[in-house]
Structure 1
Amino acid sequence: MWERAGAANLDVIQEVEYVKQEAKIVYLLECLQKTSPPVLIFCENKADVDDIHEYLLLKGVEAVAVHGGKDQQEREYAISSFKSSKKDVLVATDVASKGLEFPDIQHVINYDMPAEIENYVHRIGRTGKHLLQEAKQRIPPVLAELNDPMQDVEAIGH
């Protein structure tokens, strides 16, 4: 029997919210106020990581940031202070989603959807829309209207 890698973990609740671009950063802060740390926030590009990091610091959130434009020392400080619970939030590009273990993470926020579905798998440990269906979770109408990228792939595995 063939089993697809990254099958839905029924213990993980995936919630999708459609938020207009200009309202996203404010909504992000609201989300953070409703959840206990540690929280990981993923973004596609470095500029968004920097903007969110700066905004959260201005709002008094204990946040650190990681992306490819930061030097090794900055990245190591951010990751170690987040892992040791000195900082509550880590904002990162997909560079932090691969190969780093964060055992106590309760909440991952995708500020945007990554261009590659594999990066979504790395970000939250499972894949996209079809896994919401498999896990019998509510699919927001805005997602249901999107073409399912897995439809083309499902015939491949045996």
Structure 2
Amino acid sequence: MGFKSVVLDFDLEAPGLCYKFTVSKDGAPVDVKRGLVDYLFDVVIEGKKPGSILEYTKEIPIPSTDNPLVTLFPAGRAPTADYWEKLCRINWHDLFYSPDPKGVKLFLDLKSRIEESLAPDFLLIDSRTGVTEMGGCCDNNFT
């Protein structure tokens, strides 16, 4: 139908959207270099200014079209040790409940960057089930 979509893997404890897509003829999963955990780690832990989100995403080709209609924003290079170490260092409670919480602003900024850089018609988010700090920020910041 020609709609552009960004698919965000926010199921950080059990990421797997990269296995649902392929960019190769042999059907191998998307080769993920960086993703959401890397973005959050860079900004929250390393204190880096957010750069282009394009370095954290991967275009997924759609058969019978030359236009990049689906962009995957993977969780990261799970199940590597580096991925789990970065995820464990992000303190979700502090992001939202510390005396100077930065979480809401961080995720609203990320949403704005997705809108500006990728201009999707739809933002699809795969989040963790249940009531969790990680899952809660999807409901409150991306809607």
TM above 0.5, yes or no, is: no
Instruction: Give the alignment's TM-score, normalised by structure 2.
Output: 0.37
Greater RCO structure (CA 8 Å; 6+ sep): 2
Larger Rg: 1
Instruction: Give the alignment's TM-score, normalised by structure 1.
Output: 0.34
